[in-house]
Homo-oligomer: A and B are copies of this chain.
C-alpha cells in the first residue's frame, strides 16, 4: 500500500502562482566548455540570481504568505546557517511582519549583514555545542512567534520545488536533474515537480563528502546521522535528513553522489572564470559533482540547479585563490 506523498505537483504549481512577480524567474545558462567537459548538454538554473541570492526565498515566501494576519502581526522566527535566514527576513518584510533569526556565530559575515539589512533581529549560537532547533523553539514560544523551519514543512518544500518547475518549463526533454542536498528541501520539492511532470527523469542528489547523511540514510532505508560535517559547503552541513524531506526523497530521489572539498573549490573557480557567475560553496556542490565525473552514466540532457551565490570577495579569495 502506497502512502500519499506530503507534497504534490499541485502544491508546487500553487506555490509558483504565489511567487509570480515576487521571486525572480531565474535564467538558465549554457556553457559549451561545461558541455564539452562533462559530455552532456547541461542547463544551469541560476538560483544564485534569485532574491536574497539563493533558492531559499521561494520556500520562505510561500510559507510566510500563508500565515494569518494575527501570526504576521506577532512575528516570525527562524534558525538558519544563512540563506534561509535572509529569505525569512525578506519574506517577513515584504509581507509586513517582523523576523527574529537564530544563526550560528560562525555564519559567513556577509549573510549575517544581509539578514540584518532586511530588518531582522539576529540571535547567535555556537554551531558545535548549541541546538538551533531548541533555541528557535524556545524563542518562538516565549515571544509568540511562528517558527518557519528551513526545510521541514510542506510549504517550504513546495516553494523550493518551483525552481525545478521553471527549469522544466523552460527546457524540453530533460533526462536528469542534479540538485544539492542539505536538509533536503530543495531536492524534495524539485523531485516532486520533476517526477510529477516527467515520470522517467532521473533525480540525482549531491552531498559534500563530509556530510553524506542522506546517501547513508537512503542506503540504510531509514534516517541515519553523521558527525557534524565540517565542510566549506556550510549550507549543506546537515547531520541527519529531515523526517518530512526524507519521506519524499526516499521515494523520489534516484541516487546520491558526493563531491569533495577540492572539487567544490574547483567548481567555484570554473563558474567564475568560464561561466562568469559567482557561486558559494554550497551552491557549487552540484556543479562539482558533474565536473569531477561523480555521476555515472550521465544522460544527454541534464538540468543542474545552482542553489546560491552568497559569498563575499574576501571569503572567495580564501577558498579559491589567487
Q: Which residues of A contact B (CB under 8 A)?
A: 24, 27, 29-30, 32, 46, 48-49, 51, 53, 110, 269, 272-273, 275-279, 309, 311-314, 316-318, 320-322
Give every chain B residue within 8 A of A314 (Cβ-Cβ).
Answer: 321-322
Stoichiometry, as copies per complex, reads 2
Let me know if B24 and A51 touch, CB within 8 A: no
Let me know if B322 and A317 touch, CB within 8 A: yes
Let me know if B313 and A320 touch, CB within 8 A: yes
> Given that A110-B273, A273-B313 are contacting pairs, would A32 and B48 also be in contact in the complex, using a CB cutoff of 8 Å?
no
> Given that A272-B313, A273-B313, A321-B317 are contacting pairs, would A29 and B51 also be in contact in the complex, using a CB cutoff of 8 Å?
no
Q: Which 10 A-B pairs have the closest CB atoms?
A: A276-B309, A313-B321, A314-B322, A27-B27, A276-B278, A317-B322, A48-B276, A317-B317, A317-B321, A272-B278
18 extra A-B contacts, CB within 8 A, seeds A273-B311, A276-B278, A276-B309: A29-B49, A46-B276, A53-B276, A110-B273, A272-B278, A272-B316, A273-B278, A273-B312, A273-B313, A276-B277, A277-B278, A278-B278, A313-B316, A313-B320, A313-B321, A316-B321, A317-B322, A318-B322
Task: Tell me, in angstroms, the Cα distance from A279 to B276 when the chains sit together.
Answer: 7
Across the two chains, which residue of chain B brings its CB closest to A117?
A: B33
How many whole Å from A117's CB to the nearest CB in chain B?
A: 9
Across the two chains, which residue of chain B brings its CB closest to A275?
A: B49
Which of A49, A311, A318 has most B Cβ within 10 Å?
Answer: A49
Cβ contact of A276, chosen from B30, B49, B318, B322, cutoff 8 A:
B49
Task: Tell me, in angstroms, the Cα distance from A256 to B29 when the chains sit together.
Answer: 32
List 16 contacting pairs A-B, 8 Å CB cutoff, sorted by A.
Answer: A24-B30, A29-B49, A48-B276, A110-B273, A272-B316, A273-B312, A276-B277, A276-B278, A277-B278, A278-B278, A313-B320, A313-B321, A313-B322, A314-B321, A314-B322, A317-B317
Across the two chains, which residue of chain B brings its CB closest to A46?
A: B276
How many whole Å from A21's CB to the nearest CB in chain B?
A: 12
> Given that A321-B314, A322-B318 are contacting pairs, would A51 and B32 also be in contact in the complex, using a CB cutoff of 8 Å?
yes
